[in-house]
Amino acid sequence: MKLLRNLGKDVRPFREIPSPKAYPIIGHAYLFSGKGPYHKDKLTEAAYDLSKKYGPVFYLKFPGQSFVITTDAENASKIFQNEGKLPNRVTLPALALYHERSFGAVGVVPDNGPNWYKLRKALSPLLMKTYISKFINENQLIADKFVEYIRKNKDKNNTLIDLCSHMYRYSIECMSIVCPGRRLTNEEDLRKIIEGSCTFMDGLYRTYSEPPVWKFIKTKGYRKLERGHNIINRFMYKEMEKPINTWNDSFMKVLFQDSDLTRNQARVLSTEVFLSGIDSISTAITMTLYYLSKNEKCQHEALNDVKNGSLSYLRACFKETLRLSATAGGTTRALPADVVMNDYNIPANTYITAFHSAMSLMDEYFEDADLYKPERWLHSEKVQKKNEFSNFASLPFGHGPRMCPGRWLSEQESVILLSAILKSYKLESATPSRVGMIYRMNRIPERSIDIKFIDR
């Protein structure tokens, strides 16, 4: 057996990376077909199971695309150490095409390279806590309004059915004060944007996970992407046509006043910022309330935390939710140079996916990994991590230059609402069995989450 030599270690060649049986043309796509053992909506579970069979590094080939998959947190750290200033992630060509047609600019989400860096730099204020803190007062007003919305819309048993579908209202209102800068309260507009966001995300995932037939004809997936995004565009265009002095102190105003951006780039970035946080924030808050409704002790601790004016435990609850039910599946990068993972040489420009959503459920990184234990995130506790690479096992917002720019905004909006709800209601679960996550580009609850909100 031929081995490479690297720093005194025997390094196996790429071709020896473990892999399930592949077939001509379709490769491993059969694994996720109707007759296969896995489903494309449950990629995290598939990665977890395949890692048990083939080890923490394995190879999957699909029509037009191949990936090295890893569920090893040390390998995840290597990805970030070696990704460079311009991380190259798997592209979203259908979204790039739509953006080019609609805006005349690709946008930050589907792009790579120097142009991505320019657009990403324009979003840097969102990563400054001092900048996003100016939205706190309006966030609080929106949260108080949503507390009353719960009171008016829960049924006679105090249950709010399908909480996540309601939570979109809150996330849309919160994002609207950031970009475009006007609080969105009109019921018809809210309904349309909820529909547009859900339709767009479903279409985006379809175009990403299916063969790129949309390049030649408008497939069902591309039509959904287009229809959903068009709804969002109509709302944003209407706001952009207003005089700039009416935009309040909004982030959209910051973008349009950025001399490094063209008008088309400012338009696409404004729309991306508004759209990007809607479903992920809704899901994160919904799942946190779900876990608190299932864990009375944690709920009691969180309420005491809020009453005492400290939000450290509540923030820990939010982090623990995103460990167990991450809204993002993982990180994919094509590295600029060869890298060795678990003694296998992986050539430069090979797509490598680190499934953080699978690693974060593994006992080798978190003690009692299947249990909801917010205290593991408190610095005073010693049970936080079991492994020196545990920091790279749970990364719901990513890491490095391509880290989600809305990380702190998401936490701020979520914690404000969670605090307001806990002060007003005792939570009881009306969802008997455990709820998993499915992929719709981001991960969302696989079914309705129903919670009882009992007045305190």
Report the residue count for the chain: 456
Q: Is the peptide bond before 87 cis (omega within 30 degrees of 0)?
A: no
Confirm if 175 and 138 have CB atoms less than 8 A apart.
Answer: no
Is residue 51 a contact partner of residue 384, using CB atoms and an 8 Å limit? no
Q: Is 404 annotated as a binding residue?
A: yes
Tokens of 236: 């944003």
Please tell me the number of Cα atoms within 13 Å of 407 on its side-chain side: 18
DSSP 247-295: S-S-HHHHHHT-TTS-HHHHHHHHHHHHHHTHHHHHHHHHHHHHHHHH-
The C-alpha atoms of residue 26 and residue 47 are separated, in whole angstroms, by: 19
Instruction: Report residue 22: phi and psi, to 5°.
Output: -115, 155
Contact 324, 372 (CB under 8 A): yes
Element (H, E) at 57: strand 57-62
* DSSP label of 27: B
Dig out the tokens for 335 from the structure. Answer: 């590295």
- Are the beta carbons of 200 and 279 closer than 8 angstroms? no
DSSP 336: S
- The number of CA neighbours under 13 Å toward the Cβ of 104 is 7
CA distance 301 to 317: 10
Distance CA 30, CA 45 (A): 16
Known binding-site positions: 404
Known binding-site positions for heme: 404
